[in-house]
Amino acid sequence: MKNFDSRPKAFKISKIIKENDSTNTYIFNGSLDGKPGQFVMFWIPGVDEKPFSIAFDDGKEFWITICNVGGVTAELFKLKEGDKVGIRGSFGTFYKFKKGEHLVLAAGGYGIAPMYFAVKEKKKTGCTDLLRTR
């Protein structure tokens, strides 16, 4: 069984992408060995720790996409590239994709960020993707 270390690991924010007025994607160098459907505990020293879905992890970098809804997320939006945060995880079950397996993903609003990761992984086993917005 894998040893579990419950302490947060320090990561430096390498890039922040402003997706829109209330949503940022935080990019970190490194990997969490994250899989689609998993999440991390994101800790800002002196503020709090909250769970967020992994939006992407290719083994070289990982992304966390966060919407500013107040409280802790408002503090997150004050962070700058180069700032350090604590991250624990990845946690939770994940999707295993098989060749030829059918899969339908539906998401809206904040739920779309982790679905991006799932689609990227599913494309490795072959798929037709369709994206619809209004």
Q: What are the tens digits of pLDDT across the range 63-104?
A: 999 999 989 999 999 999 999 999 998 998 776 767 777 777
- State how far the Cα of 95 lies from the Cα of 117, in Å rounded to an integer: 10
Cβ 32 vs Cβ 89: under 8 Å: yes
- State how far the Cα of 56 lies from the Cα of 120, in Å rounded to an integer: 9
Cβ 6 vs Cβ 88: under 8 Å: yes
Higher pLDDT, 128 or 32: 32
State the pLDDT at residue 29.
97
Please identify which residue in the block is written with the tokens 């894998």: 2
Both tokens assigned to 94: 């994940």
Q: Which candidate, 94, 93, 4, 83, places its Cα nearest to that of 42?
A: 83
- In degrees and rounded to multiples of 5, residue 86 shows phi and psi of -105, 135
State the average pLDDT for the chain. Answer: 84
Q: Where are the domains of the chain?
A: 9-125
9-125 folds as Elongation Factor Tu (Ef-tu); domain 3 (2.40.30)
State the pLDDT at residue 5.
66
pLDDT above 90 covers a percentage of the chain that reads 53
One-letter amino acid for residue 107 of the chain: A
State the pLDDT at residue 16.
98
At 5-25, the pLDDT tens digits run 678 999 999 999 999 999 999
